[in-house]
Amino acid sequence: MTATLAVEQQRVRRTRTTTPKRIPTTRIVAVEMRKMFDTRSGFWLMAGIGILATLATGAVILFAPDSELTYETFATAIGFPMAVILPMVGILSVTSEWTQRTGLSTFTMVPHRGRVIGAKAIVALVVAVTSMLLAAGIGAIGNVVGTAITGTDLVWNVSVAELAGIILGNTLGMAVGFMLGVLIRNSPGAIVAYFVYSLLLPTITTLLAQSQDWFADRQAWLDFNYAQGPLFEGSVNGEQWAQLGVTAFFWLVLPLAFGLVAIRRSEVK
């Protein structure tokens, strides 16, 4: 009798009185941010941002001639590793769900792939901007320390607008990595594609521009990499912003949209 009662009570326990609430986007973003750091490879990739920025700063102090110990030299030196590592962070944040097959859990806990990818995009953006600010800070410290060691004058020859341009440029680089991750959904494949996109493609377009006048005339309107150039050179005029927008639409936004549609329809195995 008591056994029957116990069973009955347990049955009641399973009947929920409140319906669960929809998982808020802030929580998905927080979880995706956590997933950036919670593996050894992820942690060192993120730590690598700070480590490489410090190494680049150290190299400038050691090897750059005293006359060139200016903030611009530091910013340029730090920018190079950032331009490589940030796109990798963007790629892996998406592709690991497929390559490591964690998507099976992720997309059953949140059965709306668009929300998960959106949260990853927010996290990637936050990481990109934070990393660039961190790198800029490390460069600034390097500038102060370096000039103090050599006894040369402290030169701050990078304006806030120029710095913002560099941050935007590197964020776009990460966005390209993110886009390729969404489109290809495989870590090695997307990384190879990124190097084709960022190293091989500019070589081809440069050769094309040298040999074909019609292309040289229109390159800024057709070539995304080329259109990003002004961001790193300090000043961007209205026409250049338009060129950046047009090329970004065709080389970044459109393939990203295509990849998102494919992700929502694809099978997660």
Partner 1 sequence: MITVDALTKTYGGFTAVDDISFTARSGRVTGFLGPNGAGKSTTMRIMVGLTPATSGSASISGRAFADLPNPGLEVGVLLDASAQHAGRTGREILTIAQRTMGLPRRRVDEMLERVSLTPSEADRRVRNYSLGMRQRLGIAAALIGDPEVLILDEPANGLDPAGIRWMRDLLRDFARDGGTVLLSSHLLHEIEVIADDIVVIGNGRIVAHGTKSELLAASGALVRAADPAALARALEVAGATSTPYDGGALRTDAEPALVGRVALNAGVPLLELRAADGAGLEEMFLELTADTQREGAAA
How many distinct helices (H) and strands (E) make up the chain?
13, 0
Strands annotated E in the chain: none
- The C-alpha angle with vertex 96 and arms to 94 and 99, in degrees rounded to 5, equals 125
Tell me the C-alpha distance between 170 and 145, whole Å. Answer: 26
Using CB under 8 A, pick the residue from 25, 67, 105, 210 that binds partner 1: 105
- How far is Cα 253 from Cα 182, in angstroms, rounded to an integer? 12
Q: Is 112 in the site for partner 1 (CB under 8 A)?
A: yes
- Point out which span in 97-105, 164-172, 210-218, 236-244 binds partner 1 (CB under 8 A): 97-105
Shortest Å distance, C-beta 74 to partner 1? 34
User: Closest separation between CB of residue 160 and partner 1, Å?
Assistant: 37
Distance CA 236, CA 239 (A): 8
Query: Residue 212 is encoded by which pair of tokens?
Result: 């074909």
Q: Which of 2, 4, 17, 108 touches partner 1 (CB under 8 A)?
A: 108
Which residue type sits at 64? A
* Residue whose CB is less far from partner 1, 61 or 116: 116
Name the nearest CA neighbour of 50 among 107, 131, 130. 131
| Residues in contact with partner 1, shown as a per-residue x/- string from 40 to 69 under the rule CB under 8 A | xxx---------------------------
User: Under rule CB under 8 A, which residues in 12-41 are in contact with partner 1?
Assistant: 13-16, 19-23, 27-28, 30-31, 34-35, 38-41
Residue 50 has which token pair? 């700070």
Structural contact between residues 122 and 212, judged by C-beta atoms closer than 8 angstroms: no
Q: Which of 67, 102, 159, 235 binds partner 1 (CB under 8 A)?
A: 102
Question: Taking the complex as a whole, how short is the minimal distance between the CB of residue 7 and partner 1, in angstroms?
Answer: 6
* Residues in region 153-172 near partner 1 by CB under 8 A: none
Taking the C-alpha atoms of 127, 132, 135 and 141 in order, what is their torsion angle to the nearest 10 degrees? -120
The closest of 210, 211, 230 to 220, measured between CA atoms, is 230
- From the CB of 248, what's the least distance to partner 1, in Å? 31
20 vs 238, beta carbon nearer partner 1: 20
DSSP string, 131-171: HHHHHHHHHHHHHHHHHHHHTPPP-----HHHHHHHHHHHH
- Of 63, 160, 211, 265, the one binding partner 1 (CB under 8 A) is 265
* Residue ranges in contact with partner 1 by CB under 8 A: 7, 10-11, 13-16, 19-23, 27-28, 30-31, 34-35, 38-42, 96, 100-105, 107-112, 265, 267-269
